[in-house]
A = this chain, B = another copy of it.
Amino acid sequence: MQTLAKTEPQLADLKSRLTEIHDINAAASVLHWDQATYMPPGGAAARGRQIATLHQIAHEKFTSSAIGQLLEDLRPYEESLPYDNSEASLIRVTRRDYDLNVRIPSDFMAKFSNHCAACYNAWAKARPENNFAAVQPYLEKTLQFSREYANFFPGYEHIADPLIARTDYGMKAATVRSLFAELRQQLVPIVEKITSQPPADDACLQQHFPETQQLAFCHQVIEKLGYDFGRGRKDKTPHPFTTFFGIGDVRIAIRVNENDLAEAFFSTIHEMGHALYGQGIHPAFEATLLANGASTGVHESQSRLWENLVGRSRQFWTHFYPQLQTFFPSQLGNVSLETFYRAINKVQRSLIRTDADEVTYNLHVMIRFDLELQLLEGTLAVRDLPEAWNERYRSDLGVVPSSDSEGVMQDVHWYSDTIGGLFQGYTLGNLMSAQFYQAALKAQPEISAKINNGDYTMLHNWLKEHIYQHGCKWTPTELIDRVTGSDVTISPFISYIQQKYGELYSL
């Protein structure tokens, strides 16, 4: 207890500094949310600068020597506490982030941030013009920046490792590569078997569905699933996202297409999965570094769990489809549950990742991951990227983009951040979603019966108790081990796919 008394002022000082930094980052998120939802065009120029300013101030404050000193002073206190203790965890996670951030000079951050803005603008212009040549020099510079970033962390096994650690702490290129190789080996024959059959008919989704009713149905469903509108909102945006300003304000922004029923619904339930995670963090973690998801992959596991394992299941629609029909009687009144269920689970070889079904989706991700690694390793030049992209689509998915716009320029990621670290989380998330769902059903088999009645409270509570409330107290590896007793592994995902699509396609 002597240690505690001595370090109390330091702990209070650390917490107060972290709250300030959290508030600055939360402010930047509000600015970003506004930019993506309501901001008039005239606000664009100033907004980019305002967000960059806030990020830079937060970075400077976080990497100050004062924080470094406090973390040193608090080390004995931390070591005197159990690993799981919240204060020990706060000090530990803060130190981890500090050690990472302190290596990156503020100057680099500012230059890279400016470059990203320029690169994004170039991409936004070049993509509709199908002009990869226009973005190539930007992308080359991004690659340089990405390598420079990695080199702030000498001693890595693979140059992509420091970039992967930014988003999926504890993961390494070698581990991901071997997981992905195994996954590809399992998936390719499944895709082949499915696509050798006649495609599912999804015409029922391609009718006119007025926006107001779509939004009302989505609202009703996610409220029922546990999204708290008193601590969030749902707005429209071109590129769906979830944003976190605090445990009491976690918003989703989604896209509506009046000619495709799937777009709004699945973007809503996907973002809701992210948002349930944010709303479920323990209130004691408010405004601390612990009030974050464990990693990009773990976050994605929650959006995909709700979107796919729940939202594309027969069980879900057995309950909700009659409700959906009351919203759209003329469009769906004569469409059977079975037809609808097959439509929302149509599997096809396609070009666009974000439109891909859950069977082929990971193939899209793995192409990007492999190409990133080659770019970083220097075995692929940026100028050869479009051809390499097309070649991989031909070999892995059996389709070839007719233009770079629907090929190498389709995703914003490389054009607005680093090359490396931004894609693996999608597939890791899919794998973990199956692991977590399996663990939940194993621990509480009653969940399934509840779900049959449209009651997701028990599932939601289980996820809250075992995942959400802990924020990023544990590393992704620790979390998945505690929850599932295993490392990230492909078998629950493959079993899920085999069972669901085996039944759908009589494989």
Residues of A within 8 A of B (CB): 19-20, 23-24, 26-28, 30-31, 33-34, 38-47, 49-50, 53-54, 57, 228-233, 235, 245-249, 251, 286-287
A46: nearest residue on chain B (CB-CB)? Answer: B246
A47 touches B249 (CB 8 A): yes
Measured CB to CB, the closest approach of chain B to A14, in angstroms, equals 16
Q: B27 touching A50 by the CB < 8 A rule?
A: yes
Q: Select A232's contact among B23, B26, B31, B42, beta carbons within 8 Å.
A: B42
Of B46, B245, B286, which one neighbours A287 at CB under 8 angstroms? B46
Cα–Cα, bound, A31→B28 (Å): 10
Q: CB-nearest residue of chain B relative to A249?
A: B43
Q: A26-B50, A38-B233, A50-B245 are in contact. List 12 more A-B contacts (CB 8 A).
A: A19-B49, A23-B50, A24-B54, A26-B46, A30-B31, A39-B249, A41-B230, A44-B248, A46-B246, A46-B286, A47-B249, A49-B287
The 3 lowest CB-CB distance pairs between A and B, nearest first, are A42-B231, A43-B249, A42-B248
Do A246 and B30 touch across chains, with their CB atoms under 8 A apart?
no
With A27-B27, A31-B27 given, is the CB distance from A232 to B50 under 8 Å? no
Q: With A27-B27, A27-B31 given, is the CB distance from A46 to B248 under 8 Å?
A: yes
Which residues from B are CB-within-8-Å of A245?
43, 46-47, 50
A227 to chain B minimum Cβ distance, whole angstroms, is 11
Interface of A is mostly: helix
- Cα distance A272–B33 when bound, in Å? 25
Which interface residue of A33, A39, A232, A286 has the most chain B CB atoms within 10 A? A39
Known interface pairs A34-B34, A53-B20; A42-B230 also in contact (CB < 8 Å): yes
**Per a CB cutoff under 8 Å, which of B26, B43, B229 touches A248?**
B43
**Closest CB-CB distance, A354 to chain B, in whole Å?**
26
Question: What's the minimum C-beta distance from A294 to chain B, rounded to whole angstroms?
Answer: 21
A19-B38 Cα distance, complex, nearest whole Å: 24
Write out the residue numbers on chain B whose beta carbons fall within 8 Å of the beta carbon of A287.
46, 49
Contact status B23-A249, CB under 8 Å:
no
Q: List 18 A-B contacts (CB under 8 A).
A: A19-B53, A23-B50, A23-B53, A24-B57, A27-B30, A30-B34, A40-B232, A41-B231, A42-B247, A42-B249, A43-B231, A43-B246, A44-B248, A45-B246, A46-B287, A47-B245, A49-B287, A50-B245
Chain B residues lying within 8 Å of A232, measured Cβ to Cβ, are: 40, 42
Q: How far is the CA of A39 from the CA of B287 in the complex (A)?
A: 17
Most chain B CB within 10 A, of A28, A231, A232, A248, is at: A248
Query: How far apart sit A41 and B286, CA to CA, in the bound complex (Å)?
Result: 16
Residues of B within 8 A of A286 (CB): 46
Residues of B within 8 A of A228 (CB): 42
Taken together as a complex, chains A and B put the C-alpha atoms of A57 and B228 apart, in Å, by 32
Decide: A40 and B246 in contact? CB cutoff 8 A: no
**How far is B41's CA from A231's CA once the two chains are assembled, in angstroms?**
6
Closest to A26 in B: B50
How distant is the Cα of A246 from the Cα of B20 in the complex, in angstroms?
A: 24
> Do A27 and B54 form a contact, CB below 8 Å, given A19-B49, A49-B19, A49-B287?
yes
**Alpha-carbon distance between A351 and B230 when the two chains are bound, in angstroms:** 35
Q: Which residues of B contact A49 (CB under 8 A)?
A: 19, 23, 287
Within the assembled complex, what's the spacing in Å between the Cα atoms of A50 and B287?
10
Instruction: Name A45's closest neighbour in chain B (CB-CB).
Output: B248
A19 CA / B200 CA spacing, docked (Å): 57
Greatest chain B CB density within 10 A among A42, A228, A229, A248 is at A42
- For the complex, give the distance between the alpha carbons of A49 and B40 in Å: 27
Residue of B nearest to A27 (CB): B27
CB distance from A441 to the nearest CB of B (A): 30
A245 to B247 alpha-carbon distance, docked (Å): 26
User: Which residues of B lie under 8 Å from residue A231 when comparing CB positions?
Assistant: 40-43
Beta-carbon contact of A27 and B28 below 8 Å: yes
Residues of B within 8 A of A42 (CB): 228, 230-232, 247-249
Within the complex, the shortest CB–CB distance from A311 to chain B, in Å, comes to 23
Contacts of A251 in B (CB 8 A): 40
| Chain B residue nearest to A235 in the complex (CB) | B38
Residues of chain B within 8 A (CB-CB) of A247 are: 42
> A61 — nearest CB in chain B belongs to which residue?
B57
Residue of B nearest to A44 (CB): B248
Min Cβ gap A54→B in Å is: 6
